[in-house]
Amino acid sequence: MAQHKSAIRQWRRSLRRNATNRQNKSILRSYIKDLREAINNKNKEEAQRLLPLTFSVIDKTVKKGVIHESTGNRYKSRLSHQVELINTPPSK
């Protein structure tokens, strides 16, 4: 356990930051999970609706420093590529 006052304050601060980062990362994972579910179900309309929302959450998470910028760019690149690969059934 920390002995100095400044170390104790830093420890409390790290606990608050950890809780905030955990919450933000959980929100990010939920949006990515929903988008991937739409991709797996080959629901292109739903995936295209969720894509900008997910990108927004990814950008906010990067800005807050929860994930690295390269990680966010990688997520966006892979998800957008997967959405583009969804084949729409031909109309009869």
- Domains of the chain plus CATH, in order, are 5-84 (1.20.58.110)
Average confidence (pLDDT) per 10 residues, the chain, 92 residues: 86 95 96 96 94 97 96 97 83 65
What CA–CA distance (Å, rounded) separates 72 from 60?
Answer: 10
**pTM, two decimal places:** 0.83
What pLDDT score does 3 carry?
82
CA 61/CA 39 separation, integer angstroms: 22
Q: Would you call 57 exposed, middle or buried from its count of C-beta atoms within 10 A (0-12, 13-18, 19+)?
A: buried
* Three-state SS at 27: helix
Phi-psi region of 4 (alpha: psi -120 to 50; beta: other; left: phi over 0): beta
